[in-house]
Amino acid sequence: MHLRAAIAAAFLLAPSVLASGPASGTADDGMSARIAANLAKAGSNRSEIQRFLDGCAESGDPQKLAAARFLVANMDGHGFARIALVGQNGQEIPYEALDHANLAAAKKALDAIEATDPSATFTRTRFDSDLEHASAAFLRAHLDEAFDAWRTYPWAKSISFDAFCNHILPYRGSNEPLGEWRKAARARLAGLSAEQAGETDVRAVGEKIRATVHPWCGFSDIFYLHPTDQGYAEMCERKLGRCEDITNMISFGMRSVATMCASDYTPWWAASDNNHAWEVVLDAEGNGRAGLAGRAAKVYRKTFAHQPDSLGAIKRDDEVVPKWLSGTHYIDVTAQYQPVSDVTIALSGLGEKDRFAYIAVFNGGAWRPIQWGAVQDGRATFAAMGREICYLPMTHRDGVDAPAGAPFIVCKDGIMHALPAGDAASITLVATTTKPDIQDPDTGVIKVRTVVKPDAAFELFVWRDGGWKTTGRIEKGQEAHAFEGLRADGLYWLVEDGSERLERIFTIDGGRQVFW
């Protein structure tokens, strides 16, 4: 299995659910109906969930009852997900990346497995729903400790009940094992909390807490091949993880002392491979953003609250949509990070049952859907798309993505520039590079550009008529090669023979490659 596929599995099979979402507590907003439905889904654990609600009702504290109702109403879809390597026969293959010294050794072992079973892939083999496994005692402990912190610290006085429910109350970060982390994390931060006794700015305190908690779990790329999210205790023991783990650890620490943190992510970078998740310190109103470590077409915020306008919530049961877009616990915050454009395009190849279309970025050698739009009269509008990015419209049927038009670029000024490779004008290109300098979003290290080498052969592709078409080659031993007769409005991809096909796509401007 290629590393990029493992990273995608880690991110997409175990999406996070950090808190941020709609208002809670003051209006029902269908909450009673959702509570009733979730109690039914709890099965044999229904009595525990009901005991939790009853205990909060009997406390005589209306805010605690409202908070308990918020948790139960939004609990569906949250749980512990175990991700394991599964072979062609559907059986789990014994493999643990952390048994190896480093990523290279872990990947070598994975490659050996793939050599005998090419279909081996990371798959969710177990999901322990919180509704079916969380005890009343566990939920009550988290709720009481969250309230104690919120009602104790001076900087928390400005935090509304709504913001508290969305950003402090949730007991989990993503799909990690359930754990009672609040007391332990709060104890570790007791000294710093005491030093901030006179501070009333929750964001200022939050920044200090984030900086203090960040070293509790450092980054290690070997965890790309350990896609099961770690719990608090595991991270304390290992002190290492991937970006998802680090974000969770920071959220645990910040929530434990009533400061607020969101978890934002891009499912696929727009000008490099893989994906990323990161923490965002929030102000008293629950607003905030961080710097982007790469070019993002979309930035989403993970939520504990169920989002009724999400694709996962409005699609029919018989409709299949791209996996991560089927979630119901995220909101779009792209516009908080950068200038955006609503993109409306005419679509081709639509079927009668296509109610939704998708827009994709090129990542990991393939087009990856990153946003959806409702189809109306053969067109779709994709909201709040990042600029200076190359996109491709797509459909999704029976689990397969298919092109629904020519690629295009949304320029810096928001103007769209189509790339149908149909211009009659002929241009020449001397290609020297297959991938530009790219900064690794996890480590900050610049990965130096990949150049055309005389000891390898390369093929130049152009995107035309719904797919990559060959338009020339550089044979082994050629130091430079001029490709002639190219189209000025084309999208190109120069791929080394035998590579993992991670080269970047580009257009041609003034005889030079412009990478996307």
Q: What is the pLDDT of residue 425?
A: 76
CA 361 to chain centre: 14
Is residue 512's pLDDT more than 90?
yes
Which residues, at least 6 apart from 465, have a Cβ–Cβ distance to it below 8 Å?
none
Q: In the structure encoding, which two tokens stand for residue 460, read together?
A: 């130049």
Is residue 19's pLDDT more than 80?
no
Which residues, at least 6 apart from 175, have a Cβ–Cβ distance to it below 8 Å?
14, 15, 16, 17, 78, 79, 80, 81, 127, 228, 229
* 358: β partners: 372, 394
Least confident range from 103-112, 419-428, 476-485, 501-510: namely 476-485
Average confidence (pLDDT) over 365-372: 97
Average confidence (pLDDT) over 439-463: 90
Is residue 426's pLDDT more than 90?
no
Q: How far is 22 from 29, CA to CA, in rounded Å?
A: 10
pLDDT, tens digit, 9 for 90 and up, residues 299-320: 999 999 999 999 999 999 999 9
Instruction: Tell how many helices (H) and how many strands (E) occur in the chain.
Output: 14, 27
Average confidence (pLDDT) over 200-214: 97
Q: How far is 285 from 59, CA to CA, in rounded Å?
A: 28
CA 283 to chain centre: 23
Q: What is the pLDDT of residue 423?
A: 78
Owner of token pair 């006794």: 197
pLDDT, tens digit, 9 for 90 and up, residues 228-250: 999 999 999 999 999 999 999 99
Q: In the structure encoding, which two tokens stand for residue 129, read together?
A: 């729903």
Q: What is the pLDDT of residue 293?
A: 86
Q: How far is 243 from 56, CA to CA, in rounded Å?
A: 35
Is residue 207's pLDDT more than 70?
yes
What single string gives the DSSP state of each residue in 132-191?
HH--HHHHHHHHHHHHHHHHH-GGGGG--HHHHHHHTS-S-SSSPPP---HHHHHHHTHH
Q: Residue 212 burial (CB < 10 Å; 0-12/13-18/19+)?
A: middle
Q: In the structure encoding, which two tokens stand for residue 4, read together?
A: 């990029």
CB atoms within 10 A of CB 425: 8
Average confidence (pLDDT) over 93-114: 96
Is residue 25's pLDDT more than 80?
no
CA dihedral 310, 315, 319, 321 (to 10 degrees): -10
What single string gives the DSSP state of each residue in 10-58?
HHHSS----S--S--SSS-TTHHHHHHHHHHHTGGGHHHHHHHHHHHHH
CA 306 to chain centre: 17
Least confident range from 217-226, 245-254, 471-480: namely 471-480
Q: What is the pLDDT of residue 27?
A: 55
pLDDT, tens digit, 9 for 90 and up, residues 172-195: 999 999 999 999 999 999 999 999
Is residue 298's pLDDT more than 90?
yes
Q: Which of 353, 305, 365 is nearest to 331 (CA)?
A: 305
Is residue 388's pLDDT more than 80?
yes
Q: What is the pLDDT of residue 469?
A: 97
- HEC string of 418-479 equals ECCCCCCCEEEEECCEEECCEECCCCCCEECCEECCCCCCEEEEEEECCEEEEEEEECCCCC
Q: In the structure encoding, which two tokens stand for residue 62, read together?
A: 């209306």
Q: What is the pLDDT of residue 120?
A: 95
Q: In the structure encoding, which two tokens stand for residue 284, read together?
A: 């008293």
Residue 60: pLDDT band (50, 70, 90) is very high
Least confident range from 38-52, 133-147, 396-410, 432-446: namely 432-446
Return phi, psi of residue 236, to 5°: -65, -35
Maximal C-alpha separation, the chain: 81
Q: What is the pLDDT of residue 30?
A: 87
CB atoms within 10 A of CB 77: 19
pLDDT, tens digit, 9 for 90 and up, residues 236-286: 999 999 999 999 999 999 999 999 999 999 999 999 999 998 999 999 988
Residue type, 267: P
Is residue 9's pLDDT more than 60?
no
Return phi, psi of residue 364, to 5°: 65, 30
Is residue 10's pLDDT more than 90?
no
Q: What is the pLDDT of residue 186?
A: 98
464 neighbors 405 (Cβ within 8 angstroms): no
Q: Which helix (H) or strand (E) holds 248?
A: helix 243-256
Return phi, psi of residue 505, to 5°: -75, 155
| Per-chain mean pLDDT for the chain | 92
Is residue 477's pLDDT more than 90?
no
